[in-house]
Amino acid sequence: MVVKRLSDAIRDGDTIRAVIRGTGANADGKRPSVTQPSSESQVKLIAQTYEGTGLDQSDTVYCECHGTGTPVDDALELTGIANTLGKARSEAGKSPLYVGSIKPSVGHTEGCAGLAGVFKSILLLEKEMLVLTYGVECVNPKLKLKNWHLALPQEVLSWETQGLRRISINSFAFGGANAHVILDDAYHYLLNRGLDGKHNTTVNECGLDAKIASQVATKQLVLISGKDQTSIKRISEGLKVWLDKDSADSKSLENLAYTVGQRRTHLEY
C-alpha cells in the first residue's frame, strides 16, 4: 500500500483510492493473557481517534473488525465497538452499524492482518457496497448484536446512504497492541472540498451518473509504445483482450488511455 500526502497525490496525478482521516494506536498494559484484548482500551482508542480528527462516530456506516472468530476475543472486540460506534449511531437515531471481517475469506494474515482489512475496506468504499462475512452459520450468543445496535450483512448490500462513505478498521495484536483507522471514499472527500483529483470510486447518485458520463469522451487516444514492432503487436493484442471483457466500459478506456499515456515510459516505437 502506498501512503501519500493528499496534496502531493493530486499534484502528481495519482489515482486516490481512499483518504485516511485518522489513525490511532495504544496498548492494554498487563492482561490475563498475551492474546486477550481489552475492551476498555479499544473504547478509549476509538474515542480518541475520532475526537482527534473532529469526526462524528455516528457517520460511520461499517466497521471492519479484527474478527479472529474466537469466542472470547470477538465478544470483547464487539463490546468495545458497541460502546462507541454502535452507541453513537443508536443515539443519533441511525440504522445499526454494520460489522464484518475479512479473515474467514483469506485466513489470518498475521502481521499484515490489519492491512488486509484496510484493502477490503477501500474496495467497499470504491464499489459502494457491503459484503457478508464468509461462512457465518450461527452467531455466538455472547454477541448481542441487536442490543448493541450492530448488524452483520446477510448478503451483498448497496451503501444505504448517499454522499460521503466512511469506514473504521479495528485491529489488535499479541501483547495488547490496538490500532484503529478511519477511511473516507475519495470521490466525496474531494467533491466536498472542491478538489480535483483522480479516483476510482463508483458514483450512483441521482443525476450524477449522467453528468459524469457526459464528460467522458466516447473515443480515447491510447498510446502504445515498445522497443520494436513485435512488442507493439503483442501489447496491442493484450489490451484488446482486456477491453473486450464484459467489465470494460468507457471509464475503463479513459483510465487505460491515461495510464499508458501519462504513467508509462514512451519507448522508441
Q: What is the pLDDT of residue 205?
A: 56
Residue ranges of the chain with per-residue pLDDT less than 70: 34-35, 205-218, 246-250
Residue pLDDT, tens place only, 37-75: 888 999 999 999 999 999 999 999 999 999 888 877 888
Q: What is the pLDDT of residue 100?
A: 94
Q: What is the pLDDT of residue 207?
A: 46
**Domain-ending residue, one of 192, 207, 236:** 192
23 belongs to a structural domain: yes
161 belongs to a structural domain: yes
Residue 120 and residue 65 in one domain: yes
Domain count, the chain: 2
**Domain-ending residue, one of 155, 177, 192:** 192
Residue pLDDT, tens place only, 127-144: 999 999 888 888 888 889
Residue 41 and residue 157 in one domain: yes
91 belongs to a structural domain: yes
Residue 232 and residue 112 in one domain: no
Structural domain containing residue 122: 6-192
Give me the CATH number covering residue 43.
Answer: 3.40.47.10
Query: What's the rounded Cα separation, in Å, for the pair 41 and 49?
Result: 12
